[in-house]
Amino acid sequence: MPLLISSPNNKPRPTRSLGPPPSHRERGIILALITSLLLWQLPFGGLVLYPFKLLATWIHEMSHGLIMLLCGTGFESLEIYQDTSGIAHAARGATPLGHILIASSGYMGTSILGAVLLVVAGRGQGARIALALSAVAMAMSALIWVDNRFGLIVTGVGAAAFTVLALTLNERWARWALSFVAAQACINAVLDIRVLFRAQLVINGQTVGQSDAHRMASAAGGSPTLWAVLWLIWSFGAFYLALRFTHTREPLQTRIQLTEQT
């Protein structure tokens, strides 16, 4: 016979519990992740995921640009190209600390945003607001910073797509859509680091100079490979923490219901 302990309301409760099964919010995130990984393995998957690669490029370059603004160098413009490469231009030179922050912001910023969106999608509140804010951010970047035709197409179509999702999807489907976008940001933050192991940086089919890892090594010391590995660990860590937080932080109503059931 299992040992029972009397609770204050005289209802017996077990000494331990197995915890709640995954909620439909968690199942939505899991489904989004599995769908993303499967698409990467299919022959046509690259075509389906191409818009999300461009979205990851936009997030990467905007992360550079926003840190440029914070460092006082100014954010002059950004460009996005058909091969999913991109570049952000500062208005003027940076301090040594500014060089370090700007070089590291692209990959770290993409993984952070992806993790934050995963948490928002898993919490079940504000998914439609997050989609709407994404639309506003892409539209503003198109108006202020994007400086090439293809980049304007990408940000314009992206803003329109996020607007449609925010206005037409109910909360449940909005959470799934946000989960899929967040999963793609996290996955691309990891996959895009592969280019840092190349000797030269190629943008729009042309060799243009040093990669972020080379610039980081020049500014902070160490080797480009070291910084690429550190950013890779950072990306995996942000992804893991987001999933962990989403699983362990149950919505308040769910916790109340579970408490009442015991």
Of 13-27, 96-110, 131-145, 244-258, the one with minimum mean pLDDT is 13-27
The pLDDT score that the predictor gives to residue 239 is 84
Token pair for residue 176?
């799934």
Residue 155 belongs to a domain: yes
227 domain-assigned: no
Q: Would you say residue 229 lies in a domain?
A: no
The contacts of residue 216 (CB under 8 Å, 6+ apart) are 100, 103, 104, 222, 224, 227
Interatomic CA distance for residues 214 and 196, integer angstroms: 8
Rounded-to-integer distance, Cα 144 and Cα 121, Å: 29
Domain count, the chain: 1
**Residue 221 lies inside a defined structural domain of this protein:** no
> For residue 92, what are the contacts with CB-CB under 8 A and spacing of at least 6?
73, 74
180: containing domain: 24-29+46-84+93-190+235-246
What is the pLDDT of the chain when averaged over all its residues? 81
Residue 10 in domain: no
Cα-based torsion angle of the residue sequence 114, 32, 167, 154 in order, rounded to the nearest 10 degrees: 60
Cα 167 to Cα 131: distance, rounded to the nearest angstrom: 9
In a domain, 8, yes or no: no
CA distances from 117 to 127, 128, 138, 177, 181 (A): 8, 11, 16, 11, 8
Return the residue matching tokens 């999807």: 169
The pLDDT value recorded for residue 180 is 86
The whole-number pLDDT of residue 191 equals: 80
Let me know: does 224 contact 217? Beta carbons within 8 Å: yes
DSSP codes of every residue in 53-120: HHHHHHHHHHHHHHHHHHHTS-EEEEEE-TTS-EEEEESS---HHHHHHHHHHHHHHHHHHHHHHHHH
Q: Which of 30-44, 79-93, 236-250 has the highest mean pLDDT?
A: 79-93
* 199 domain residue, yes or no: no
Q: Nearest 10 degrees: CA dihedral of 234, 240, 246, 247? A: -160
Give the model's confidence band at 209: pLDDT under 50 very low, under 70 low, under 90 confident, else very high. confident
- Provide the pLDDT for residue 101: 95
Give a yes or no: residue 110 inside a domain: yes
Alpha-carbon span 110 to 248, nearest angstrom: 23
Report whether pLDDT(140) > 90: yes
Q: What is the pLDDT of residue 21?
A: 47
* pLDDT tens digit sequence for 18-62: 444 455 556 666 676 677 677 767 777 778 889 999 999 999 999
| Segment 254-259 mean pLDDT | 42
Q: What is the full DSSP assignment across 200-231?
A: SEEETTEEEE--HHHHHHHHH-S-HHHHHHHH
**Closest by Cα among 159, 131, 128, 130 to 143:** 159
* Tens digit of each residue's pLDDT (9 = 90 or more) over 50-65: 999 999 999 999 999 9
